[in-house]
Structure 1
Amino acid sequence: MNDTKTPVFSCPEEQKVFSRVYKYADMATRLMEEHKTPPFPNTYALMYAYASAENDDIVGIVDNMLERGDLSAYEIDEVYSNHLCPMQDQAKREKIGERVEAQISSVLDLVGTGVENSDQFETVLQQIGNGIGQTTSIDQLSAAISNLMSENQRMAGQSRKLSDGLKESRKQIELLRRELEDVRNESMRDPLTSVHNRRAFDIKLAAELDAARQNNSGLCLAIADLDHFKRVNDTFGHRIGDEVLKVFANIISENIKGQDLVARYGGEEFAIILPATDLKAASILIDRIRLQTFQRKLVLKGSKKPLGDISASFGIAQFVPGMTPDNLVELADQRLYLAKRQGRNRVQAEDCETNAA
Structure 2
Amino acid sequence: MRHTESIDSTEVLKQAVQLMRRHGTSMHPVHYAIWYEYARGENLDLRNAIDRYLSQHLHLDDAVAEALHKRHVVGSGTDPAMLRRMSDSVSSVLGQIADSAARAGDQTAAYGSSLSRFQDGLNGREPLPGLEEIVATTRQMHSAIQDLQRRLADSRDEIGQLRDELDRVRLETLTDMLTGLANRRAFEQRLAACVTLAASAGLHSHAPCLLMADLDHFKRINDTYGHGTGDQVLCAVAAALKAGTPEQGLAARIGGEEFVLLLPAMQLPAARMLAEQLRHAVAQLRVPARTPTGGETAIQVTLSMGLTTLQRGETGRQLIERADQALYQSKSGGRDRVTVKAG
Instruction: Give the 3 Å change call, closer, same or farther, for CA 274–98 of structure 1 in structure 2.
Output: closer
Q: How far apart are residue 251 of structure 1 and its match? A: 0.8
Paired residue secondary structure (1:282): helix
Higher relative contact order (CA 8 A, sep 6+): 2
Deviations along 1:128-187, whole A, 9 cap, x unmatched? 79889xx8x7655999xxx99999998887776565554443333222112112112112
**Aligned residues: percent identity?**
31
2:315 aligned with 1:324: yes
Q: How far apart are residue 311 of structure 1 and its match? A: 0.4
Paired residue secondary structure (2:234): helix
Q: Which residue of 2 aligns with 1:192?
A: 178
Q: Which residue of 2 aligns with 1:337?
A: 328
Q: Which residue of 1 aligns with 2:226?
A: 237
Paired residue secondary structure (2:262): strand
What is the alpha-carbon distance in structure 2 between the residues aligned to residue 141 and residue 108 of structure 1?
43
Paired residue secondary structure (2:287): coil
Q: Which residue of 2 aligns with 1:34?
A: none
Paired residue secondary structure (2:259): strand
Instruction: Give the 3 Å change call, closer, same or farther, for CA 85–315 of structure 1 in structure 2.
Output: farther
Q: Which residue of 2 aligns with 1:286?
A: 275
Q: How far apart are residue 194 of structure 1 and its match? A: 2.3
- Any residues of structure 2 matched to 1:57-136 within 5 Å, and which? 88-90=74-76
What is the alpha-carbon distance in structure 2 between the residues aligned to residue 167 and residue 270 of structure 1?
46
Q: Please give the TM-score of this superposition, normalised by the length of structure 2.
A: 0.61
Q: Is the 8 A contact 1:208 1:219 kept in 2?
A: yes
1:221 to 210, 223, 233: 210
Deviations along 1:20-74, whole A, 9 cap, x unmatched? xxxxxxxxxxxxxxxxxxxxxxxxxxxxxxxxxxx9xxxxxxxxxxxxxxxxxxx
2:269 aligned with 1:260: no
Give the letter for the 1:333 counterpart. Answer: D
Structure of larger gyration radius: 1
Deviations along 1:295-326, whole A, 9 cap, x unmatched? 1122226843122x310011111012111111
Instruction: Give the 3 Å change call, closer, same or farther, for CA 321–140 of structure 1 in structure 2.
Output: farther
2:305 aligned with 1:314: yes
Deviations along 1:64-90, whole A, 9 cap, x unmatched? xxxxxxxxxxxxxxxxxxxx9776434
Q: Which residue of 1 aligns with 2:63?
A: none
What is the alpha-carbon distance in structure 2 between the residues aligned to residue 100 and residue 171 of structure 1?
13
Q: Is the 8 A contact 1:315 1:347 kept in 2?
A: yes
Give the letter for the 1:194 counterpart. Answer: G
Deviations along 1:327-347, whole A, 9 cap, x unmatched? 100110111111122221111
1:295 to 267, 281, 284: 284
Paired residue secondary structure (1:300): strand
Q: Which residue of 1 aligns with 2:166?
A: 180
Q: Is the 8 A contact 2:112 2:139 kept in 1?
A: no
Q: How far apart are residue 115 of structure 1 and its match? A: 7.1
Q: How far apart are residue 192 of structure 1 and its match? A: 2.0
Instruction: Give the 3 Å change call, closer, same or farther, for CA 191–219 of structure 1 in structure 2.
Output: same
Q: Is the 8 A contact 1:114 1:158 kept in 2?
A: no
Q: Is the 8 A contact 1:121 1:151 kept in 2?
A: no
What is the alpha-carbon distance in structure 1 between the residues aligned to residue 94 and residue 162 of structure 2?
15
2:196 to 205, 210, 214: 210
Deviates further, 241-250 or 159-168 = 159-168
What is the alpha-carbon distance in structure 2 between the residues aligned to residue 270 and residue 98 of structure 1?
33
Q: Is the 8 A contact 2:236 2:287 kept in 1?
A: no
- RMSD, aligned CA: 4.7
Q: How far apart are residue 198 of structure 1 and its match? A: 1.6
What is the alpha-carbon distance in structure 1 between the residues aligned to residue 172 and residue 110 of structure 2?
51
Give the letter for the 2:162 counterpart. Answer: L
Paired residue secondary structure (1:306): strand
Q: Please give the TM-score of this superposition, normalised by the length of structure 1.
A: 0.59
